[in-house]
């Protein structure tokens, strides 16, 4: 007779792999790379194919990647874009309509659209509220499958659902490789590879132009390149194309227009810093951008024969925190996007524990122009004592929202009047976010502040990625702050208590008609002082702005 121990030894622990599912998944993924960092890419393939990620596929994927099912689950459950389905749960309906309910879309009737859609479909089409999808200038936005519909209404969504118009629509105005090349494109890159322009010259020019990173923190780009170049090889380059800050649309806009100017800029940076490989991390909502960029990268490889480093294009999976550079690197390694503790900084220990240059997409986009036309192209511009050009992403209650390239230091009033065609008819300017959800809120009375790096701190705000959201006398600043806090609560990675619990507590307190101001201020201080990363540190900004500049809206001004 067998002993108990022998019986247990024979029974394998945990859920067993379903061999049929394993075979189909293997077929689906083909001769894919099963290294650990590819986990999120493979989860995308499963999600795209079946409309969800079920337990059996997760176990099969773990088996193919030779990792534990728990590791797969832990990663898949972190990202909003994977629909995890248990064996006994029903799968999502064939079509999902996602409606953005962040600030700009809310101003333009997102709530009413959600109500109408829910009333109309009653479950046979899934209606999901989602945070900002990066098209705030076309609010309100709905996404049917992967087809984004700007200025959406019930009829437009119905039409897309009925005709199963669920694929992303291709760009129609993108500058092709041939057009770019004909106008002198890739000449600078060639000159660098031919050693006609030295690495030192490039860095010197970046420094002379006082060029600063455009992802939010404004770190001097030339200095960053020099620092990473000094680190021991091998080094990597990472392009931050996550563009998750509500209100920010500039990266997607420029990428759609001129992908090759960006590709050239990225490869110049990679060459100057002598990086072994480039990784582009693109926000998952930018589906048309993904298809187009994949194509244009292939065209580049076919037509330009320089010994450039390998370029990997990777998809995010719906987590705002992955815009933070260390979280992004974790995500690229196939893990949950949780920011790392610093030091070490990613410039010293980044992707795969190697020194890593992380730059925002737009930072790299301007590099070829800077080198071709010289620093003066940028330094000759500027307003109100500031220098350079800024791409302001403007959304909200203005006539012409969108990306407006204007002198650094332009005021909100000039932006509204001279670039955005004024406020919408019937709307009076009441307030604005000068730097997306995290950069705080200012009242219309402070309409003459130069909008640039370093000019807003004294007002408790910052410009970040220059996402300007304008609201009017039809809106309330407290509602805007509430939406921003709700966004941070949704997007907190959960790693540290001041942020994960702080955002939740703040949301609860902000719902009250009368705000408990001392308690909210106390909570804000803890979040600012003790959160691990910029998300938790900046999350209280809009709430503190309301207390400071819009006291009439909370607690009768006490």
Which of 352, 424, 423 minimizes the C-alpha distance to 37? Answer: 352
The correct pick among 185, 252, 323, 536 for binding ligand SF4 (CB under 6 A) is 536
The correct pick among 174, 331, 465, 492 for binding ligand SF4 (CB under 6 A) is 492
Q: Which is nearer to ligand SF4, 481 or 499 (CB)?
A: 499
| 129 SS3 class | strand
Using an 8 Å Cβ cutoff, are 436 and 534 in contact?
Answer: no
Residue 216 found at the interface with ligand FMN (CB under 6 A) = yes
The correct pick among 92, 309, 443, 534 for binding ligand FMN (CB under 6 A) is 534
Cα of first residue to Cα of last residue in the chain, in angstroms, is 81
- Cα 77 to chain centroid distance, Å, stands at 19
**Minimum distance from residue 330 beta carbon to ligand FMN (Å):** 12
Q: Which of residues 286-325 bind ligand SF4 (CB under 6 A)?
A: 321
The correct pick among 24, 201, 500, 528 for binding ligand SF4 (CB under 6 A) is 500
The entry of ligand FMN, ligand SF4, none near residue 107 (CB within 5 to 8 angstroms by kind) is: none
| 402 SS3 class | strand
Binding pattern for the stretch 308-337 against ligand FMN, x by CB under 6 A and - elsewhere: -------------x-xxx------------
CA angle 234, 237, 242 (to 5 degrees): 150
Helix axes 250-257, 287-303, angle to 10 degrees: 40
Which of 65, 109, 438 minimizes the C-alpha distance to 247? Answer: 438
User: What is the C-alpha separation between 355 and 61, in angstroms, rounded?
Assistant: 30
The correct pick among 245, 284, 296, 452 for binding ligand FMN (CB under 6 A) is 245
Helix axes 19-29, 39-50, angle to 10 degrees: 100
The entry of ligand FMN, ligand SF4, none near residue 532 (CB within 5 to 8 angstroms by kind) is: ligand SF4
User: What is the C-alpha separation between 521 and 537, in angstroms, rounded?
Assistant: 13
**Minimum distance from residue 499 beta carbon to ligand SF4 (Å):** 3
Length of the chain: 558
Residue 438 found at the interface with ligand SF4 (CB under 6 A) = no
Q: Which of residues 259-288 bind ligand SF4 (CB under 6 A)?
A: none
User: What is the C-alpha separation between 500 and 534, in angstroms, rounded?
Assistant: 13
User: What is the C-alpha separation between 242 and 249, in angstroms, rounded?
Assistant: 11
Total of residues contacting ligand SF4 (CB under 6 A): 14
Using an 8 Å Cβ cutoff, are 207 and 325 in contact?
Answer: no
Q: Which is nearer to ligand FMN, 145 or 337 (CB)?
A: 337
Q: Which is nearer to ligand FMN, 25 or 535 (CB)?
A: 535
Select from 25-33, 62-70, 89-97, 527-535 the region that touches ligand SF4 (CB under 6 A). Answer: 527-535
Residue 342 found at the interface with ligand SF4 (CB under 6 A) = no
User: What is the C-alpha separation between 185 and 178, in angstroms, rounded?
Assistant: 9
The correct pick among 134, 215, 375, 409 for binding ligand FMN (CB under 6 A) is 215
Q: Can you give the binding site for ligand FMN, defined by CB under 6 A?
A: 213-217, 219, 224, 240, 242-245, 321, 323-325, 358-360, 363, 533-535
Q: Can you give the binding site for ligand SF4, defined by CB under 6 A?
A: 321, 339, 492-496, 499-500, 531-533, 535-536
């Amino acid at each position: 007779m067998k002993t108990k121990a022998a019986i247990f030894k024979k029974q394998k622990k945990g859920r067993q792999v379903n061999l049929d599912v394993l075979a189909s998944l293997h077929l689906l993924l083909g001769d894919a790379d099963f290294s650990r960092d590819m986990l999120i890419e493979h989860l995308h393939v499963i999600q795209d194919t079946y409309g969800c990620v079920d337990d059996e596929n997760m176990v099969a994927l773990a088996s193919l990647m030779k990792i534990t099912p728990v590791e797969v689950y832990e990663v898949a459950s972190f990202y909003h874009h994977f629909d995890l389905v248990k064996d006994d749960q029903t799968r999502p309906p064939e079509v999902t309509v996602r409606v953005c309910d962040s600030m700009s879309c809310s101003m333009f009737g997102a709530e009413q659209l959600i109500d109408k859609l829910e009333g109309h479909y009653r479950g046979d089409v899934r209606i999901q509220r989602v945070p900002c999808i990066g098209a705030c200038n076309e609010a309100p936005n709905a996404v049917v499958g992967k087809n984004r519909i700007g200025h959406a209404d019930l009829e437009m969504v119905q039409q897309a659902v009925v005709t199963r118009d669920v694929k992303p629509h291709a760009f129609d105005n993108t500058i092709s490789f041939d057009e770019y090349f004909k106008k002198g494109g890739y000449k600078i890159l060639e000159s660098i590879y031919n050693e006609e322009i030295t690495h030192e010259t490039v860095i010197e020019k970046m420094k002379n132009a006082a060029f600063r990173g455009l992802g939010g923190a404004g770190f001097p780009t030339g200095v960053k390149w020099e620092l990473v170049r000094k680190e021991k090889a091998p080094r990597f380059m990472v392009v931050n194309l996550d563009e998750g800050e509500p209100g920010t649309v500039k990266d997607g806009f420029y990428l759609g227009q001129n992908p090759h100017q960006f590709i050239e800029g990225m490869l110049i940076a990679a060459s100057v810093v002598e990086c072994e490989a480039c990784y582009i991390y693109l926000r998952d909502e930018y589906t048309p951008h993904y298809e187009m960029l994949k194509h244009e990268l292939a065209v580049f490889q076919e037509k330009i024969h320089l010994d450039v480093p390998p370029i990997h294009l990777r998809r995010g999976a719906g987590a705002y925190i992955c815009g933070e550079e260390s979280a992004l690197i974790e995500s690229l390694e196939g893990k949950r996007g949780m920011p790392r503790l610093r030091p070490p900084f990613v410039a010293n220990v980044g992707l795969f524990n190697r020194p890593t240059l992380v730059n925002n997409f737009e930072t790299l986009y301007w590099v070829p122009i800077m080198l071709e036309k010289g620093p003066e192209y940028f330094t000759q511009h500027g307003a109100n004592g500031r220098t350079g050009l800024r791409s302001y992403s403007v959304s909200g209650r203005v006539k012409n929202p969108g990306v407006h390239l204007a002198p650094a230091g332009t005021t909100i009033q000039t932006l509204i009047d001279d670039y955005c065609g004024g406020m919408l008819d019937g709307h009076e300017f009441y307030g604005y976010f000068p730097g997306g959800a995290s950069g705080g809120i200012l009242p219309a009375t402070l309409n003459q502040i130069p909008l640039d790096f370093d000019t807003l701190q004294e007002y408790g705000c910052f410009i970040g990625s220059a996402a300007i959201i304008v609201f009017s006398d039809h809106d309330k600043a407290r509602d805007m702050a509430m939406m921003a806090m709700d966004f941070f609560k949704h997007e907190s990675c959960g790693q540290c208590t001041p942020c994960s619990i702080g955002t939740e507590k703040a949301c609860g307190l902000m719902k009250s008609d009368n705000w408990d101001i001392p308690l909210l201020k106390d909570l804000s201080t803890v979040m600012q002082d003790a959160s691990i990363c910029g998300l938790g540190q900046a999350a209280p900004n809009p709430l503190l702005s309301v207390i400071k500049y819009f006291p009439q809206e909370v607690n009768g001004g006490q």
